[in-house]
Structure 1
Amino acid sequence: MKKILILLVFLIPAYAELPLYKIEGKCVDPKNFNERQKQVILYAYNYGAPKGLGYTMAAIAWKESCAGEYMVNFSDPSAGIYHAHIPGVIKKYGKYKDTSFIRNLVGELLMRDSEFASKVALDTLLYWQKRRDGNYKDMVKSYNKGFSWEKNKRIDKIAEAYYQDIRMNVLKLRNFIPKYTKTHNNTLKIELENKNQNIKNTIKELQNTKTKPSSNQTKQEKFFIMPEP
């Protein structure tokens, strides 16, 4: 019996260890992102660009979810590319009571629907941009901590650190996104050209098939005439 217990003591850690390495994303630099992360960054940029907040949206997506790698934070609770605060989303966009079930639904929506998640993030940025009279730093700090950083030194320190992270992300993305966009567009162009060429080849083959005379048409039929009696 003692031998079995000793064996179990050694076996349990081996089987109980969480394989977190399977979901570890790369958040150090965009050049190390996988293709999906790059697409998330580009999507966030394109969504915010018409309002002059493209790089900010992309920087927040990088900061909050590692460009879509970590889509939920249970402690906030928040979810989606930009980790929107779920209770706040329920209050602003829904007429539902804030219950555990509704929070689960909204969290799932934010993770599944990138367009809705982006709308929430951009709406929030535009609100604080107006509220802070266009002060970029205060807008970003408020996106993270609302009004709470104004009268609380500890929270202000957190909001300040958040702003500095976003600022650095924006600077790096200003170098990365134009290069990636060019490469991405060239790839799409090549793919489109290949598809067009395939279509042209198919049409040409069909035309050749129609114009080429069949073997039955080129050969003259020979008739054997029976002699009259």
Structure 2
Amino acid sequence: MRLRNILLILLFISNVFASDFDIKNLTPQEIETLKEIKREGQAHGLSYSLMAIAIKESGLGKYMINVDSKDFGLYQANIKTVINRHNAKDTSWNRNLFATKLISDFQFATKNAIDELVYWQKIHKNDWTKVWSSYNGGWKYNSKEAKEYSKQIAAIIRELRKIDV
């Protein structure tokens, strides 16, 4: 219950949308976060996808909690998806445990995002438009919202390629 209250307070303190992110005016901390993400994603060829998703989903960590959608962390992983991926029972305790890890453990959050992208990459046979759509919309990757999300990720990647990260 205490964790839930903390999460709710954090939600109200921060905005849950990262649409105001300015890629041309990155802080030193944001640049360092991007470099960390890039390093982690290189082995899987996912650096730019991960960086773009982190920007889109959480503003590089500014907005780590979305209670409405039950998405948490740098990459806004859906808690039920994470619980299923870890073969854990869906209990209040596990939801709080995994939500906390997604918020506080960069390695854990990044591994989950990589696992999610690799899963959709196999399903969609490297069709990145569909991979990014599915990251957001799951099996509803043809929905208007998921397609728009994919376009936004592609646009962020184009901008990221213009800067030295």
Relative to the length of structure 2, the TM-score reads 0.84
User: Is the Cα–Cα contact under 8 Å of residues 46 and 54 in structure 1 kept in the other structure?
Assistant: yes
- The count of corresponding residues between Structure 1 and Structure 2 is 154
Larger fraction in helix: 1
Aligned-pair CA distance for 1:146:
1.1
Name the residue aligned to 2:40.
47
Matched residue SS, 1:147? coil
Instruction: Give the unaligned 5+ runs of structure 2.
Output: 1-10
Q: Is the 8 A contact 1:26 1:32 kept in 2?
A: no
Where does residue 110 of structure 1 map in the other structure?
102
Asked if 1:174 is matched to 2:161, the reply is yes
1:74 is matched with 67
Do residues 34 (structure 1) and 27 (structure 2) align? yes
Q: Give the CA deviation at 1:23.
A: 5.0
Mapped partners of 2:108, 2:20: distance in 1: 24
CA offset digits 1:166-186 (Å, max 9, x no partner): 00000000112xx2x4xxxxx
Point out which structure has higher relative CO (alpha carbons under 8 A, 6+ apart). 2
Choose from 38, 59, 62 the match for 2:52. Answer: 59
1:87 and 2:80 aligned: yes
Taking structure 1 as the reference length, what is the TM-score of the superposition?
0.62
Indicate conservation of the 8 Å contact 1:125/1:139, yes or no: yes
Candidates 126, 131, 155, aligned match of 1:139: 131
Aligned residue number for residue 146 of structure 2: 159
Q: What RMSD, in angstroms, separates the aligned Cα atoms of the two structures? A: 2.3
How many Å separate the matches in 1 of 2:29 and 2:147? 30
Identity within the alignment, %: 35
Tell me the CA shift for residue 26 of structure 1: 8.4
Deviation digits for residues 8-48 of structure 1 (CA, Å, limit 9, x no counterpart): xxxxxxxxxxxx9x757884322323222222222222211
Tell which structure's C-alpha radius of gyration is larger.
1
**Unmatched 5+ stretches in structure 1:** 1-19, 151-155, 182-229
The separation in 1 between residues aligned to 2:104 and 2:139, in whole angstroms, is 29
d(CA) in 2 for partners of 1:173 and 1:45? 11
Which residue number corresponds to residue 121 of structure 1? 113
1:72-105 Cα offsets, whole Å, 9 max, x none, are 110110111100101110111142x212222111
Query: Do 2:130 and 2:141's aligned partners in 1 also have CA atoms closer than 8 Å?
Result: no
2:43 counterpart SS class: helix
After superposition, give the CA deviation of every residue in 1:103-153 in whole Å (9 maximum; x if it has no partner): 111111011110110000011111111111111111111111111234xxx
Contact map agreement 2:53 2:153 (CA 8 A) in 1: yes
